[in-house]
Amino acid sequence: GHIVRNWKVRWFVLLQDKLLYYKIEGGKKEPSPKGRILLDGCTITCPCLEYENRPLLIKLKTKTNTDYFLECCSREERDSWALDITGAIHAGHPVQVQELHRMKNSFKLLENISLHHIVERMFDSSTGIKLTRNLEQGNRYKETFTGSALVDWLISNSFAVSRFEAITLASMLMEENFIRPVGARSTEATRYSDLSEQFLDDSTALYMFAESSNKNISSKEQLQFNISELSGTIVKQGFLVKQGHKRKNWKVRKFVLRADPAFLHYYDPTKEENRPVGGFSLRGCLVSALEDNGVPAGVKGNVQGNLFKIITKNDIHYYIQASSKAERTQWIEAIKPLT
């Protein structure tokens, strides 16, 4: 928000020369847009690292110097939006658009890799990455490592087979807010507004664990606690509307589905901290679609349809609305194999 600096869920529509955004009520967008961003003369920054706990941001700066910060629900979605918005900004320059597509296609998400597991290994006292003190331009940094040292460590621990793959993986660690740049060399690299690599395979570029600078999160102990259920591979994520357990009201939540271990967590997209507000193990759960002709028992308030229900092994009932029947089916099909 521009006046009250809070975060709100909005439905975005990209047109040829503008980006419209709409309020969402009861899981559906209102007919008239809440606002618009004119793309002529805009510059785009992706990834945007100005908010430490929000690694999936896109920043748009208009030609009148108004800043818009937009958060996506996954890295793939963020990059897709950034590519399409950049294409609209440079619609009259097909060569630039072609280059953007080439860069996006060259940046592949490595399969079957848990970033939480990598960070856990990085913290290991015997086999983890070596942390050193560094002095740069009069500033002393504790417990840092260089970009080239991280690339070497990822390859030596078989997380990557080439320096290109290791740089890709290190970029993901930075974009997901596990590590952060410190010092002029690495920080400057994050300020480019194109979609090229932000991480430097360089012995003069310094990085550190993001948690070590966040007083709200204890370092390794807090990470180890979260790993027990947040270490799984992300299978699916997106925004759904969930009914509350006490007030029975409906609120938009960002859901993240993980496997090995199988958990479903949900986040409040209006909160600054990037931590789940709830979640549960999927082992022993039952998931099913609910018919739209009639409101089932236990469901109250503004029901738009496309409902499905998850019953945990402790007999806790979760009622969730998707934006379409197709989306509901996709979520159910993704959840079922993990129960």
Q: Which domain holds residue 87?
A: 10-105
Sheet-wide strand order for 179-182: 132-136, 139-146, 206-209, 179-182
Counted domains in the chain: 3
Sheet-wide strand order for 67-71: 43-48, 57-61, 67-71
Q: For residue 286, what pLDDT is reported?
A: 92
Q: pLDDT at residue 301 above 70? A: no
CATH classification of the domain holding 281:
2.30.29.30
Where a domain ends, among 178, 209, 240? 209
Q: Are residues 26 and 67 in the same domain?
A: yes
Cα–Cα distance measured from residue 231 to residue 149, given in angstroms and rounded to the nearest whole number: 24
Q: pLDDT at residue 212 above 50? A: no
Q: pLDDT at residue 110 above 60? A: no
Rg of the chain's alpha carbons, rounded to an integer? Answer: 21
Question: Would 44 be classed as within a structural domain?
Answer: yes
The chain-wide mean pLDDT, for the chain, equals 78
Q: Are residues 261 and 203 in the same domain?
A: no
Q: Are residues 98 and 149 in the same domain?
A: no
Question: Would 216 be classed as within a structural domain?
Answer: no
Q: pLDDT at residue 296 above 70? A: no
Where a domain ends, among 76, 105, 134? 105
Q: Are residues 46 and 100 in the same domain?
A: yes
Listed residue (33, 198, 19, 180) closest to 107, CA to CA:
198
Question: Would 3 be classed as within a structural domain?
Answer: no
Question: Would 288 be classed as within a structural domain?
Answer: yes
Question: Would 14 be classed as within a structural domain?
Answer: yes
Q: Are residues 275 and 314 in the same domain?
A: yes
Question: Would 204 be classed as within a structural domain?
Answer: yes
- Residue 116 has phi, psi (to 5 degrees) of -60, -40
Q: Which of 88-97, 155-164, 300-309 has the lowest mean pLDDT?
A: 88-97
Q: For residue 188, what pLDDT is reported?
A: 76
Q: pLDDT at residue 108 above 70? A: no
Question: Would 240 be classed as within a structural domain?
Answer: yes
Where a domain ends, among 45, 80, 105? 105
Q: Which of 26-35, 85-94, 142-151, 258-267 has the lowest mean pLDDT?
A: 85-94
Q: Which of 1-15, 110-124, 233-247 has the lowest mean pLDDT?
A: 110-124
Q: Are residues 14 and 96 in the same domain?
A: yes
Question: Would 37 be classed as within a structural domain?
Answer: yes
Q: Are residues 254 and 304 in the same domain?
A: yes
More confident residue, 298 or 319: 319
Q: Are residues 20 and 95 in the same domain?
A: yes
Q: Are residues 76 and 97 in the same domain?
A: yes
Token pair listed for 305: 């349809």
Over range 68-81, report the average pLDDT: 84
